[in-house]
Amino acid sequence: VVGEVFDDRRSLPLEGATVEAVHRTTRQVLATTETDERGKYHLDPGQADCIAVAILKLSFPVTAGMDITRTFF
Percent of the chain beyond pLDDT 70?
Answer: 81
Can you give the pLDDT at residue 73?
36
Can you give the pLDDT at residue 50?
79
Residues 6+ apart with CB under 8 A from 1: 21, 42, 43, 44, 45, 51, 53, 68
Can you give the pLDDT at residue 57?
84
**Positions in the chain whose pLDDT score sits under 70:** 60-73
Can you give the pLDDT at residue 63?
55
Give pLDDT tens digits for 9-26. 888 899 999 999 988 888
Rounded Cα distance, 57 and 15, in Å: 9
